[in-house]
Structure 1
Amino acid sequence: MDKKTRAKLAAAAADGDTSAFAKLYEQVYRQLYYYALSNLQSPDDAADAVQDAALQAFAGIASLREPSAFDSWIFRILMNIVKQKQKNYAITREHSLDADPSAVIGGSPFGRVEMLSALNELSPEERQCLTLYGAAGYNSKEIAELTGMKASTVRSHISRGREKLRKALKQGKGR
């Protein structure tokens, strides 16, 4: 779906068109879920966070000033929910072993567990930047706007995160 169509749907949703909101949500659900899963390490917690973000977005869509910014707006809502969930409980390594993100990460079940385990090795900032970049398709400037970081800092987090992932996955295959 192109940006113009998304902006039109967002404007219609802001005017109360629930089917327009549903279409927008359908377009971003996968990226929202992957972002939440990679940060919360639990499919149930990720699904809850995405559902909470959708409910908050639906309730507040009329306040969206720039319809073309729907994607970054709902991601910001989700990012805040994820941060709050992370504050409310400590994420344990056992969560990553329970995860089954087969809908968003391809490969064998062992590869998915290795990927989630490797993501768990990243700093929260590296994980956030890398998932926004890789899963949601944002560029460093857009991620900087979403997170409040400088674009150069975002690029550093992405670069370091990629290198750490590469090393962690390489070590995992050598076992």
Structure 2
Amino acid sequence: MTRPVDAELASAAQGGDEGAFAALIERNLAAMRAVAVAMLGWVDEAEDVVQDAVLIALRDLPKLRDPEAAGAWLRAIVRNNCRMLLRARRAVPIAEPALLMPADGELDPGTVLERAVTRDWVRSAVAALPEPIREVMVLRYFTDWSSYRQIAEICAVPEHTVRSRLRDGRRAFSRTLQEVAAMTHADSAAMARATRHEAQALVQAGLHGDLRGVLRDRFHPDALVTRAGLPAGGISELAPMMTETLNAGVSLRLLDAEASADIVVWDIEFLNPPDDPWQQRGFRRSR
């Protein structure tokens, strides 16, 4: 079966197919994360801005005029979130409140929610959250009382607790998206499983001394390697680099692997020996 392209998924999502929206996000999630990591580095904020972008995309889906530009639109939301975070230079790991509130003359959040084609699914997803998390999610995204200070006052908790609960809520919402995508678009779920298995195979090969063979079998011979954003040679240079790291006593652990139609992102943690804590997370692969 031919996999739906972004335009088909976006059009279906605008027509009320929540599974299509979930599949659209899963198809583009790796590219969205790549944008966040490129702008912010491997930090928690990178994941936060991506998850926040998913909620913004869900809210603004009716405004997407060109379904064929859905992928670029999603990446632009992530890019804007990152710019806001960098410009603010403060420890707020999500987009500015103004992004989540209507501009003057626009519909209020309650009306936007009522008109959203996925409103029933959104309500079900939010209703499934634990009460403390559900409370801050509803206040943040669906009411006029959306600032951290206002939510903290209403819930009688510190602002850092509000941020923590919102982070948990966004991650739970992301898991719900993945579950919906798995139920309605099995091909996307199969791709996600395949890339995780592939990443795990590389980790195991590195730990058991067969790294060169795995790289030869699984990577295109013309693949290019970058390190800290700079060219580091071809795929033949990767094995010696990884081998040197492993010989220094560093171990590997797979944290995450995401795939879309034309990009794969692996997040692998380097577990340093106690006497040599110089390595940093994480080796990445994109194609």
Calculate the TM-score normalised by the size of structure 1.
Answer: 0.50
**CA-to-aligned-CA distance 1:102-133 (integer Å, 9 cap, x gap):** x89x888xxxxx93xx339xxxxxxxxxxxxx
Aligned amino acid, residue 80 of structure 1: N
Q: CA deviation at 1:136?
A: 9.8
User: What is the aligned partner in structure 2 of residue 57 from structure 1?
Assistant: 57
Change (3 A) 1:20 1:137: closer
Counterpart mapping for 1:96-115 below 5 A: 115=227
In 1, distance between residues paired with 2:43 and 2:27? 19
Matched, 1:119 2:232: no
Aligned amino acid, residue 77 of structure 1: I
**CA-to-aligned-CA distance 1:70-126 (integer Å, 9 cap, x gap):** 0011111111101001112279xxxxxxxxxxx89x888xxxxx93xx339xxxxxx
Larger proportion of strand: 2
User: What is the aligned partner in structure 1 of residue 11 from structure 2?
Assistant: 11
Change (3 A) 1:136 1:79: farther
- Equivalent position SS for 1:10: helix
In 2, distance between residues paired with 1:85 and 1:45? 9
Residues paired across the two proteins, number: 105
CA-based RMSD: 3.5
In 2, distance between residues paired with 1:69 and 1:81? 18
Calculate the TM-score normalised by the size of structure 2.
Answer: 0.32
Matched, 1:24 2:40: no
User: What is the aligned partner in structure 2 of residue 43 from structure 1?
Assistant: 43
Q: CA deviation at 1:10?
A: 0.5
Structure with max Cα Rg: 2
Q: CA deviation at 1:7?
A: 1.2
In 1, distance between residues paired with 2:87 and 2:70? 26
Change (3 A) 1:36 1:50: same
Gaps of 5+ in 2: 92-195, 207-225, 231-259, 264-287
Q: CA deviation at 1:43?
A: 3.3
In the alignment, is the contact (CA less than 8 A) between 1:10 and 1:70 conserved in 2?
yes
Gaps of 5+ in 1: 92-102, 109-113, 121-134, 139-175
Give the fraction of aligned pairs with identical amino acids, expressed as a percent: 31
In 2, distance between residues paired with 1:3 and 1:69? 17
